[in-house]
Chain A
Amino acid sequence: MATNTAAGGTNLLKLWPWVVVPLVAIVLPFIFDSGHAINLLSHMGVAIIFALSYNMLLGNTGLLSFGHAVYYGLGAFVAMHLLRSINDAGGEGLPLELLPVVGAGAGLFFGIIFGTFSVRRAGVVFAMITLGLGALVHSSSLMFTDFFGGEAGLFGYRDEAPSLFGVDYAPSRNVYFLVVAWTFIAAILIYLLRKTPLGWMANAVRDNPERAQFVGYNPTIVRFIQFALSAMFAGLAGGLFVITDEIVNDEAVNALTSGAVLLGTYIGGIGYFIGPIVGGTLVTFLESSLSTYTEAWVLYFGLMFIAIVMFAPMGLVGIVHTQYLSWKAGGWKGNTGARLYILLTGLVGIFGLICVIELAYHYFRSWDPSAPFALMGVTVDATNALPWLVSFGIAIIGFGLMLFHGNPMLKRKLDAKSDGGKA
């Protein structure tokens, strides 16, 4: 898929992801048809919209926000209040399909209010203001209990609301299709926004605000519009969340939600349109699935994020994309073995590290550390030294070979290649 620097060529063949991905999304609930899986898929859709809206700030405009959950959460709360009033009116009023629009409106409203003073500066000041606003709104959620529902939160019933097409939204699969539809609409809109002059100016403001100003655009205005639109899509995600979960509490506006969208977007890759899609999907999947396998999932999450920040600032999609470009340009010729060797040793190292972390969690967290414990299909005793030595050994050998054998090897081959080219 196009990066944000590539010019938008209108080659119809390039539009295939826009057809294939929704088709796959529609087929998925028939393959994974358990209630849990369908809920997970719906959450992924919500997370994708939320992450895409976040990347309108971070990736496109260069604004690092620590309080994006404010707009998601406020959108959700306003949508929830409307859903409740529809419930109270005996199911008369706005069709359920349009509830996310209400969330989007609320997001836009608060985005405009908070945006007026947040976007005057980018960088650290913006990050701090969003952090402060996030904390402010979350603390007020305990003050204004009528609106935020206090600690218990608010709940409504999606099947006690009218439907535009006469669909019964009690089964979660029908809700999932609604989520797919909205995700598709939001993704198209956000993608098209990148192609407008506003989208290009946002990139210019991100890269060099002074020059953008010199050309005649006010960076503050560009940031403000991007901020308000991004808040709108976040509110849309919040409104959709109300439909999937039928409950919303102060968690929707708290710092963890803001942090999760930042982590997910960055892990996916902020420089690519599909980065947040990959990130949002992955984060939701890990949060739900990994947490049933291991207690350590937050740790894996944090370590993955740090590794991405340190070694691959363009995210997972960035890694794949650069390797693909290099392969396409023939950069892999003569050194494919070295690249695969680095990948393999790296994976071995990660495998060892996972074993170590799992052992540590079993040893420190379990009531009885000596209880037999299944580690990668092998039953081990965590109080015994052997599994520790083996795990550490695998990790050290894997990373050691990667850093001190694989990397120099690849570098030598690349050097030899460029020398050969000159000679």
Chain B
Amino acid sequence: MLETIAYSIFNGVLYGTLLFMMSSGLTLIFGMMGVLNFAHASFYMLGAYFAYTFGLGTGFWVALFLAPIAVGVMGALVERYGLRRVHQYGHVPELLFTFGLAYVIEELVALFWGTVPVAYKAPAALNTTAFTMFGLDYSWFKVFILLVAVAMFIGLWVLIKKTRAGLIIQGALSRPDMVGALGHNVPMVFTLVFAFGCALAGLGGVVGGIHFVTDPGMAFMMGPIVFVVVVLGGLGSVPGALVASLIIGILQTFFLSVNFSLADSIGALGIEDSGFFGVLWHMEATRIAPVLPFLLLVLTLIFRPRGLFGKREA
């Protein structure tokens, strides 16, 4: 049991940090602009593909920096020439725009890189074993993921709380008109925030693409879970996104790693394995795992729409 708990905590934290990398940009963009970017996971996917392609020429370490920048530039273009135009119609068309964008990006990725996964792998230096726990080897790459996530969180926190740019961002978040009156170019700030958020997703993709699989389905796969993280943590809250990522990561890994069902632990109690409750009673935990994040999402929205750390309702 101890082994299972340690295993699911470590792997859960690992998965959680990856989720955080994907969702921090989304929560930032929403907090700032009120735009729920449906295409956020698509930018995550672009990060992975760009890193793969750049990596072929420059090696992983250069691509680690180039890919997020490229994704950020794409984000800026999308905001400047797409979202800003749609903004005048309100928030729902913005949501629809990013929804359509997610389709287009997925198709373009499938067009340029093919529908089968690409061979995007960690550099050899990170593939060596860092430590062994309960007979399982953990490579330096997993340590690297943790380090990137920690650096990202600290960087974001310092940027928002301690710098002048962060002050303007926070100001533009609550009173865009006032910040504009003080002489700041608010639309420009919006573009930069959107680009920055996309770049963060891109960085998540550079790392996540190696950890998971880099194929055109990855955005569709991760998109809804990223939303869960952002809503659970509280829209606009970066620490909330971190906590929510870890909760979902650990919870999902735990359910995937234990062999558990109510019937196993409490006893069948004469309940047949049929009918709605019977099936639930005999359901193995591993089959519940994929449903958990969405159950959390719906419950959060019903009972606490502002999430764990959010300051305002979605």
Contacts and interface: CB of A to CB of B under 8 A. Distances in A.
Contacts of A135: 224, 293-294, 297
B6 interface: no
Given A143-B287, A302-B107, A309 B100 contact: yes
Contacts of A299: 103-104, 107-108, 111
How many of chain B's residues touch chain A, expressed as a range? 35 or more
Contact of A266 (B96, B220, B301, B314): B96
Interface in A136-154: 136, 139-140, 142-144, 146
Given A142-B287, A309-B96, A364-B112, A129 B101 contact: no
Interface in A44-93: 62, 64
B134 interface: no
A305 B291 CA distance: 30
A128 B295 CA distance: 12
A307 to B, nearest CB: 9
Interface residues of A, number: 41
Nearest to B108: A299
Contacts of B91: 123-124
Interface in B112-139: 112, 114
A131 B224 CA distance: 8
Interface string B63-91: 00000000000000000001001100101
A296 interface: yes
Nearest to B273: A146
Interface in A339-361: 360-361
B267 interface: no
A303 B279 CA distance: 43
Contacts of A143: 279, 283, 287-288, 291
Main secondary structure of the interface of A (DSSP, over half): helix
B279 A310 contact: no
B264 interface: no
B68 to A, nearest CB: 24
A262 B297 CA distance: 21
B305 A125 contact: yes
Contact of A306 (B97, B220, B227, B228): B97
Main secondary structure of the interface of B (DSSP, over half): helix
B99 interface: yes
A128 B103 contact: no
B298 A127 contact: no
B301 A305 contact: no
Contact of B103 (A125, A305, A360): A305
Interface in B166-185: none
Contacts of B104: 299, 302-303, 306
A64 to B, nearest CB: 5
B276 to A, nearest CB: 7
A136 B86 contact: no
B298 A129 contact: yes
Given A64-B92, A136-B294, A139-B294, A306 B101 contact: yes
Contact of A125 (B106, B114, B301): B301
Given A128-B314, A298-B103, A136 B97 contact: no
A167 to B, nearest CB: 36
B1 interface: no
Contacts of B305: 121, 125
B100 A132 contact: no
B95 interface: yes
A330 to B, nearest CB: 28
Interface of B: 36, 82, 85-86, 89, 91-93, 95-97, 99-101, 103-104, 106-108, 111-112, 114, 220, 224, 227-228, 231, 274, 276, 279, 283, 287-288, 290-291, 293-295, 297-298, 301-302, 305, 313-314
The 10 residue pairs across chains A and B that have the minimum distance between CB atoms: A302-B103, A132-B297, A302-B104, A299-B107, A305-B100, A136-B294, A306-B100, A135-B294, A132-B298, A139-B291
9 contacts: A121-B313, A125-B314, A132-B301, A146-B279, A299-B103, A302-B101, A306-B97, A306-B104, A310-B82
